[in-house]
Every structure is written in structure tokens, then in C-alpha cells.
Amino acid sequence: MYTFFNKISKTIMEGYIQNNGLYLGLGTISLVTCLELTNLSSVVKLIRYNGIYSYVKAWAHTIVNSALFGPIVYHGVRQNLLDVKEHTIIVNIINIPTILLLHSYGYWVAHNMMHKKYLWCIHKYHHTYSCYVTPVVAMAVSPMEYSIAYMFPFIFASCIITPSNFELLTSATIISVCNLMIHCPSIEYFSKYYPDWWVSPGKHLKHHSSKSKCHIAAPTIDIDFLIVLFSGYW
């Protein structure tokens, strides 16, 4: 029995260590560190307003979600939903934006539901960071929210597209980086240069600061904008 469980744990650990998702998670943590340093004034304000414990807790969630939960789900997708054949550049150009669109829609549905009274308990912790937001807040979500709003849409998109390894890693990287950038006050000024169909830091920071349910879309394609745009045609 011991030998059996030892083999299972060894297999899991080998898959975890060889997992691109782990490197992506560690890269995310490194990027958060760099972005926090470029937003020091906001970091100081957040600590003064929310307290040092709240800031440390945000970091704890970031590390656990990025280096544990994310890589596990990524490995599962890679093992079970990946197309082992590499796709052509044309297919890459089609599949990567499609994954981003499907993930954005899945996130929008989950996020919208979590702003309802019956699921607010899952999401309210993330909104304890409202007056002051820094990049580390991007991953400051409970494991339940991380699974529902971030991982499930990723699995959903992968089930439909069956991505290649390149498409999976590229789309996951874009989602991860954009999620950090929209929580970055130091680049809010550049929001005016973003296309209307893309989620900007300005839009998402307004979502955090506003008590009204606005700018639900994140972290890449602005589903709110697309719904308004196409409802005009319908």
C-alpha cells in the first residue's frame, strides 16, 4: 500500500515539476513583484488603509493560486485536453483569440453571478481591496473564486478548442499578464489608448472603486462592450 501511494505521489510531483504551468505561475509571481515596486505609492496607501495583515494575505493568495492551484489545473488540461500535434500559424492566429474570447465570456458569467446576493460571499473578499488596488490584488481571491472565475473558464475554452501546447501556454500567459495589468494604477493613464473592446486598467479600477456593478468584464476582452455593441444590431 505504501509503495502504491509512493508511486502515485512521485508521478504527481514529476508532472508538477515538469509542468509549464508551474513556470508560468512562478513568472506571474515575479511579475507581481516587479509591478508592486513600480506602484510603491499605491502599496503604501493600501497598507495604511487595509493594514499590513491584509497585504500579506493578498501575497499569500497570490503565491498559492499561482504556484499551486494554477499549475495543477494547467497540468490537467495539458494531459487531457491538449492536441498533441502542433498547429499551423493560421490555426494559432484563430485559436488563441478564440480561447481568450471564451475565457472572457466564462469569466464574465461567473463574475456577474458572484455580484449577486447569493454568491457575493465568494467574491466579497476580493472587494475588500477597493479604495486602493495594486497588482498583487489581482490574485487575492479565495480558492473557490479562483476555481470558478479563472480556472473553469480556462477548462471550458480548452474543451471547445482543443489547443496545441503553444496555444495553451500563449493564451494562459496573456490572461495572467493582463489580469495583473488591469490592477496596476501606475498605467491607468494609458487606458485611453486601449481599444474599446479590450479591458483597460481604468475600467477595472473603476469596478473596484465603484459601489455599482459596472465593468464586470476582465481580464482581456471586454464582454460588456461586446454585449452593448451587438445588442444594437439585434
Region 50-76 average pLDDT: 94
Region 180-191 average pLDDT: 95
CA distance 66 to 132: 22
pLDDT for res 30? 97
Dihedral of alpha carbons 68, 72, 73, 74, sign: positive
Q: pTM for the full model?
A: 0.89
Region 169-174 average pLDDT: 95
17 band by pLDDT with thresholds 50, 70 and 90: very low
As a whole-number percent, the residues of the chain with pLDDT over 70 amount to 90
Is residue 66 predicted with pLDDT exceeding 80? yes
Number of Cα atoms under 13 Å in the Cβ half of residue 41: 2
Structural domain tally of the chain? 1
Strand partners for 74: none
Q: Which helix (H) or strand (E) holds 89?
A: helix 89-114
pLDDT for res 4? 47
pLDDT for res 230? 87
Is residue 7 predicted with pLDDT exceeding 70? no
Region 65-84 average pLDDT: 91
In 1-88, alpha helices (H): 2-17, 20-37, 40-50, 52-64, 70-80
Q: What is the mean pLDDT of the chain?
A: 90
CA distance 103 to 109: 10
pLDDT for res 161? 93
213 band by pLDDT with thresholds 50, 70 and 90: confident
146 band by pLDDT with thresholds 50, 70 and 90: very high
Region 26-44 average pLDDT: 96
Per the structure, the complete domain to which residue 160 belongs is given by 2-233
Query: 115 CB contacts (<8 Å, ≥6 apart)?
Result: 123, 213, 216
Is residue 130 predicted with pLDDT exceeding 60? yes
18 band by pLDDT with thresholds 50, 70 and 90: low
Q: Which phi and psi (to 5°) does residue 197 adopt?
A: -85, 5
Chain Cα centroid distance, residue 98: 16
pLDDT for res 195? 96
pLDDT for res 212? 64
Is residue 191 predicted with pLDDT exceeding 90? yes
Is residue 2 predicted with pLDDT exceeding 90? no
